[in-house]
Amino acid sequence: MLDRPFSLAQLRIVLVGTSHPGNVGGVARAMKNMGLDDLALVTPRCEVRTSEAVSRASGADELVAAAPVHDTLESAVADATLVVGASARSRNLPWPMLTPRQLGGCLVAELTPADARVALVFGREDSGLTNNELQRCHRHVHIPTNPDFSSLNLAAAVQVLAYECRQAWLQEAHPSEAESAMPFGLEWDSPLASHADLERFFDHLERALIAVEFHDPAQPRQLMARLRRLYLRARPDQMEISILRGILSAMEKKAGASR
């Protein structure tokens, strides 16, 4: 972990020539969900601040309201230290290409200076970015899609890249939230049972199964092995072992009473 993990505020989403206000709203929602808030618009082909945009933004419409509208891509990315253009795979002149995950992976290095800015540039719904616009980018990023149906909705494309950026940020800022070291995830309500707890449980289980005459140690088949495999796979917590042993004690009591 760095002393200063990068900030998601150092990332800007730039939408070029957007046609549908609903998509601008959807982009704002996807950004705010992932903790991004810097949205810039370049020559939108629609009125962007409409009721449809507000509706799709679903509470993130302040990002749309605050978004500056630029006449040129250059002015929207003027202060960016890395400009990344979303692109279908390039054809004539290949350009340095990142996957979304590689994009996330490079953010720590790119955004270590506090004044560094990364701009992620998305093109028109129907035709993407022009070659001219793509050639103003340091890198291109391509979301791997089904080759037979490759055109992502604009808000969906922003969602995927913003998600990867947030994942990269979480790994720096909150590594425990990015991937949990716990077998079940971050939060659990009882500590895991220890090996000794489990062995005491298995001993108790076997005694109880004998008591209820389900298990005959002279003809063990694979019963205890199968039960071990089941419970060990589940990795019981201390509370669960306590409950199970309570059940076993109740079984033994009934078995004793029935003699």
> Interface with its own copies by CB under 8 A: which residues?
26, 29-30, 32-35, 56, 58-60, 89-90, 93-102, 140, 142-146, 149-153, 155-156, 159-160, 163, 166-167, 170, 177-180, 183-189
- What's the closest the beta carbon of residue 152 comes to its own copies, in angstroms? 5
Nearer to its own copies (CB atom), residue 44 or residue 100: 100
Nearer to its own copies (CB atom), residue 95 or residue 202: 95
Nearer to its own copies (CB atom), residue 137 or residue 251: 137
Place of tokens 């009591």: 253
β-bridge mates for residue 141, sequence order: 86, 98
- The tokens for 175 are 């590594």
- What's the closest the beta carbon of residue 12 comes to its own copies, in angstroms? 17
Nearer to its own copies (CB atom), residue 43 or residue 81: 81
Judge whether 125 and 156 are in contact, CB under 8 Å: no
Judge whether 30 and 2 are in contact, CB under 8 Å: no
- What's the closest the beta carbon of residue 159 comes to its own copies, in angstroms? 5
Nearest of 84, 89, 115 to residue 102 by alpha carbon: 84
β-bridge mates for residue 27, sequence order: none
- What's the closest the beta carbon of residue 107 comes to its own copies, in angstroms? 15
Nearer to its own copies (CB atom), residue 112 or residue 145: 145
Nearer to its own copies (CB atom), residue 30 or residue 42: 30
- What's the closest the beta carbon of residue 132 comes to its own copies, in angstroms? 19
Judge whether 67 and 35 are in contact, CB under 8 Å: no
- The tokens for 63 are 């990002």
Nearest of 101, 96, 66, 67 to residue 82 by alpha carbon: 96
Nearest of 22, 34, 21 to residue 13 by alpha carbon: 34
- What's the closest the beta carbon of residue 154 comes to its own copies, in angstroms? 11
Query: From residue 164, how far is each of 23, 141, 193 by CA, in Å?
Result: 20, 12, 35
